[in-house]
Amino acid sequence: MKKMNFFVMALLCLCTMAIGFVACSDDDDNSTVPNLGTPPYEAVSGKYNVTTSGSPYESIELGASGNYIVTLSGGSYALSAQTALESGRSGNRLLTNRTAQTRATQDGYFVYGTFTSLGNGRYQLEDFGTITLTTGTDGQVSGITVDSDRYGSATVTVQKEETMTDSGMTNALCRTWRFERAHYVSTDLETGESEEETELPNEGPESAEEVLFSKSGTYLVAYNDGSLEMARWRWRDEAAGTFYYTWEETWRDEDYATITFSGNTAVVYEVYEEDGYRAETWYYLSTDVIAESPEEPQEPEQPLPSDESPVARVFGDKLIKSVGDDNYFYENGFLVRIAEDDDPESEGTFFHYNYVTGAEGPDVYTMDDSELEQTATLGENGFVASVQHEMYDCTTTFEYDAEGHITHIVEGREEREYELTWENGDLVQVTRWHYDEYPIEKSTYLYTYSDQPSNGIMRFYKDYNIDLDVVEEFYYAGLMGVSTKHLIETETSISHDFVIRYVWTDHDVTKYSDSEPNGRVDYTFSFYE
C-alpha cells in the first residue's frame, strides 16, 4: 500500500499493547486520564504575540515542558479556535511533513528548541539567545527583551494569547511528547483485505521525533531532518478525547483525531477513507512523568557537595578572603559570592553551579545582583572551556595543558588572543595579539619568579597583562586553571622595553618601575584563617 502521510510517524493515540488497535468512537467517554504531574514550565507557558510594529518577531511561545517556538515576521496566520468549521477534509494527516516549510534555521519562519530558566524572568533559548520577560502592574507579561546575535535583538510589547481552561484531558495533552512508533492499517473496503505496517523512529528521512501541544492551541511536529510543521488544534469532544487540527487557515469538520492515555503514553488514532480504501493510523507517544501529583512539592535544589570543591584544586585549604576591593564568600568549599562590601548579606556577583546541583541550564553562571552576567561551559578537565559575557555579547575561550595551566586564550571583548608559556609550574611568557589594531599589534612579556609560594594569587590583568575583565572571576572559583607555583618577581616588556619589579608581603604587593622608582602598593589581599 502507499502509506498515507499523516504525521509521517505515529503520533497521537497513546495506548499500550493491551489496548490494541481499537478506534475510539465519538460516544466513548475517555475518562481515564493519567496524572502526569505538572510540567516544569507550566507557570510561564503560553504564546506571547508581539504587538510592536516592525519587530522581527511575530510571537514567542514557551511550552510547558521546556520547549520554545519563535515565529519570525511573516510566518504566522491568524486563526481563532472559535472560527466556524467548513465541511470536508483537507487531505492532510496529523503528523504529515508537507515538504517542510519551516526549519530550525534562520531561513525559516519558525525556530524551535529547548529553553532553561536563568532566574529573574530570564531564559536561555537553545541556539537562539536569551529572552527576558517583564510584567505590568497586573502581574501579566507585557514585554519581552530579546538578545539574539543570529536573529536580532529587540525589546517588544506582547499580549498573551488566550489559553484553554484547565482540565484533566487538557493538562495531560499539553506538553512535549516523544514519538515512539506508528502503526498503519490499510483496508480494501470492497474485498476486506488489509495490509499493516509499523514504523519506528528514524526509519525515514522525514520521521517525526517530537510533538508539542499547548494550551494556546499550538500543535508542532519536529522531524529528524531538522524540519518543523506548525498547526493549530482544539477540542472536538473533550470527554471522548477527540480534537480538531488544521495545517491551513481553515478548520474542517473531518480533520480530527482521537487520543487515549495509558500511564505516561498516549495513542492518537485517525481514520481516513478514500477511493475504496480505509487508512487507519495509530501514533504512539510518550512523555516523562514529572510527579505523582501536581500538588506534590518538588524537591528543593540540592546543596553544594562538600567533597567536590573546585576551589581546593587550585587554592588547597588556603582560601582567599579578599583581593583588592573584592571579598570572597564560600559554601562547602565553593565560591558563591564576590562583593565589595564584606557584609555577607550585601549584594554582589553570585555563582550558580548547575553541573554539581543537577539543575538545568549552563554548567556555571553568575548573576550580578539580579542580572545575568556570564555563563561558562566546562571542558573534560573540569576547567572553563568558554565563557559567554552577556554585557559585551562576546565569548572568551580557553585551552589548557595536561597539568591544567592555561596555554591559549581568545578574548572576544577586545578581540585579543594570548599564548601562555609555562616552565616548572610558572608562567614565563605571555604573547598577545590585538586584532582591532591595524597592522595587528603584537606584544610579548617575560616573567621571573621569587621563591615565595603563590598560594593561588594570580591576577591576570594586574600582573600578566591579560585583560579578561570580570571573566577572571571564574579563576577564583577554581575553574580557570592551575595557578603559578611562585609569586612574580619581574615583568619585562619586550615590545615596549620596560621592566616592573614586584615586592610581596603577607598582605600586599608593591610595584617598582622606571616611572615609579619609589614604588606603589598595587593591591592588597588576605586569606581565611
Confidence label for 18 from pLDDT (cuts 50, 70 and 90): very low
Element (H, E) at 170: helix 168-173
Which pLDDT belongs to residue 415? 81
For 213-282, the DSSP string reads E-TTSEEEEEETTSEEEEEEEEEEEGGGTEEEEESSSSEETT-EEEEEEETTEEEEEEEEEETTEEEEEE
Which pLDDT belongs to residue 503? 96
For 125-154, the DSSP string reads ETTTEEEEEEE-TTSSEEEEEEE-TTT--E
**pLDDT mean over 34-56:** 89
Does residue 68 carry a pLDDT above 90? yes
Q: How far apart are CA 285 and CA 182, in angstroms?
A: 9
Q: Which of 205, 126, 213 is nearest to 174 (CA)?
A: 213
Confidence label for 451 from pLDDT (cuts 50, 70 and 90): very high
3-state secondary structure of 463: helix
* Residue 31 backbone phi and psi in degrees, to 5: -90, -10
Angstrom distances, CA of residue 448 to CA of 389, 426, 451, 463 = 32, 9, 10, 12
**Dmax over Cα atoms in the chain, in whole Å?**
105
Contact 47, 131 (CB under 8 A): no
Characterize the bridge pairing of strands 349-353 and 364-368: antiparallel
Does residue 237 carry a pLDDT above 60? yes
Sketch out the chain's domains with CATH numbers.
Answer: 13-286 (no CATH), 310-527 (2.40.160.190)
Which pLDDT belongs to residue 26? 41
CB atoms inside a 10 Å sphere around CB 48 = 24
Q: How far apart are CA 332 and CA 499, in angstroms?
A: 41
Q: Which of 8, 466, 476 is nearest to 200 (CA)?
A: 8
Does residue 369 carry a pLDDT above 80? no
Confidence label for 299 from pLDDT (cuts 50, 70 and 90): very low
**pLDDT mean over 252-256:** 83
Contact 400, 481 (CB under 8 A): yes
Does residue 386 carry a pLDDT above 80? yes
Least confident of 33-47, 182-196, 428-442: 428-442
**pLDDT mean over 94-105:** 42
Contact 339, 346 (CB under 8 A): yes
Which pLDDT belongs to residue 75? 64
**pLDDT mean over 97-121:** 63
Q: How far apart are CA 233 and CA 272, in angstroms?
A: 18
**pLDDT mean over 495-515:** 90
**pLDDT mean over 350-365:** 86
Kindly state the cell numbers that stand for 385. Answer: 572551556
**pLDDT mean over 233-248:** 89
Q: How far apart are CA 264 and CA 286, in angstroms?
A: 6
Does residue 91 carry a pLDDT above 70? no
Q: How far apart are CA 186 and CA 373, in angstroms?
A: 57
134 against 136, higher pLDDT: 134
What is the separation of C-alpha 183 from the centre of its chain, rounded to a whole number of angstroms? 34
Does residue 108 carry a pLDDT above 80? no
Which pLDDT belongs to residue 78? 57
Which pLDDT belongs to residue 28? 46
Characterize the bridge pairing of strands 85-86 and 364-368: unpaired
Classify residue 369 by its DSSP letter. Answer: T
Which residues face 103 on adjacent strands?
227
Angle at CA of residue 90, ends 228 and 262, nearest 5°: 65
Calculate the CA dihedral of residues 291, 7, 183, 66 and round it to 10 degrees. -10
Which pLDDT belongs to residue 98? 38
For 284-347, the DSSP string reads EEE-----SSTTSPPPPPPPPPSS--HHHHHHTT--EEEETTEEEEEETTEEEEEESS--TTS-
Which pLDDT belongs to residue 298? 37
Does residue 42 carry a pLDDT above 70? yes
Least confident of 52-56, 99-103, 327-331, 503-507: 99-103
Does residue 426 carry a pLDDT above 90? yes
Does residue 1 carry a pLDDT above 80? no
Which pLDDT belongs to residue 38? 85
Which pLDDT belongs to residue 370? 63
Which pLDDT belongs to residue 67? 92
Contacts of 211 (CB under 8 A, 6+ apart): 7, 11, 12, 95, 176, 177, 179, 219, 220, 221, 222, 285
**pLDDT mean over 425-445:** 82
**pLDDT mean over 220-244:** 87
* Residue 472 backbone phi and psi in degrees, to 5: -60, -15
Average pLDDT over the chain reads 81
Does residue 303 carry a pLDDT above 70? no
Digit-coded pLDDT (tens) for 276-295: 888 888 999 998 765 443 33
Angstrom distances, CA of residue 390 to CA of 131, 148, 476 = 12, 11, 19
Angstrom distances, CA of residue 165 to CA of 162, 215, 348 = 9, 8, 42
Which pLDDT belongs to residue 230? 84
Which pLDDT belongs to residue 92? 54
300 against 287, higher pLDDT: 287
Does residue 32 carry a pLDDT above 90? no
